Amino acid sequence: MISIDRAQARALLEEAFSDAEEAVLVGKAPAVPSEIAGLCDTIFQSGTQAYREVLLGCTIARLINACINIRLPYIDLGADAFSGRSLDERVVNPFLQEKRIPCSRGPYLSVFRRSVAFDASTRAGVRDKVGYDALLGALGYAESTSELRDFLVYLLYRFVLLREAANIPLVRLKRISLSQYDALLSGLLSVRSGGLFPLIFTAAAFRTISLYFGVDWQIEWQGINVSDAASGAGGDITVLSRGQVVLAAEVTERRVDKARIISTFNTKIAPSAIRDYLFFYSSGDPAAEAREQAERYFAQGYEVNFVNIKDWILVILATVGASGRELFNTALVELMESKDVPAVLRAAWNDQISALVQGSPV
- Mean pLDDT value of segment 177-203: 93
Beta partners for residue 244, in sequence order: 241
Evaluate if residue 213 carries a pLDDT over 50. yes
- Percentage of residues in the chain with pLDDT exceeding 70? 95
Q: Give the chain's domains with CATH numbers.
A: 6-165 (no CATH), 178-358 (3.40.91)
Sheet with 276-281: strands ordered across: 218-221, 237-241, 244-252, 276-281, 303-308
- Longest distance between any two alpha carbons in the chain, whole Å: 79
- Phi, psi dihedral angles at 17 (to 5 degrees): -65, -40
Indicate if the alpha-carbon torsion angle 89, 91, 96, 99 is positive or negative.
positive
The b/e string for 182-205 (b: 16+ C-beta within 10 A; e otherwise) is ebbbebbbebbbbbbbbbbbbbbb
Question: What is the CA 117 to chain-centroid distance, rounded?
Answer: 36
pLDDT at residue 153 in the model = 98
The b/e string for 125-151 (b: 16+ C-beta within 10 A; e otherwise) is ebebeebbbbbbbbbebbbebeebeeb
pLDDT at residue 361 in the model = 52
Query: CA 156, 187, 360 angle in degrees (round to 5)?
Result: 100
Q: Is residue 293 within 8 Å of residue 258, measured between CB atoms?
A: yes
Give every CB contact of residue 196 below 8 A, 6+ residues apart in sequence.
25, 223, 224, 341, 342, 345
The string of pLDDT tens digits covering residues 54-108 is 999 999 999 999 999 999 999 888 999 999 989 999 999 999 999 989 888 776 6
The string of pLDDT tens digits covering residues 106-132 is 766 677 777 889 999 999 989 999 999
Average pLDDT of the chain to the nearest whole number: 91
**Cβ burial, residue 292 (10 Å; 0-12/13-18/19+):** exposed
Confidence of residue 362 (pLDDT cuts 50, 70, 90): low
Q: Which range has the worst mean pLDDT, 37-41, 142-146, 222-226, 325-329? A: 222-226
pLDDT at residue 228 in the model = 45
Beta partners for residue 51, in sequence order: none
Question: What is the CA 230 to chain-centroid distance, rounded?
Answer: 26
DSSP H or E segment with residue 291: helix 288-299
pLDDT at residue 360 in the model = 56
The string of pLDDT tens digits covering residues 262-274 is 999 999 999 989 9
Whole-angstrom Cα distance, residue 226 to residue 3? Answer: 49
Per-residue DSSP letters for 131-196?
HHHHHHHHHHHHHH-S-HHHHHHHHHHHHHHHHHHS--PPP--S---HHHHHHHHHHHHTS--TTH
What does pTM read for this prediction?
0.77
pLDDT at residue 225 in the model = 43
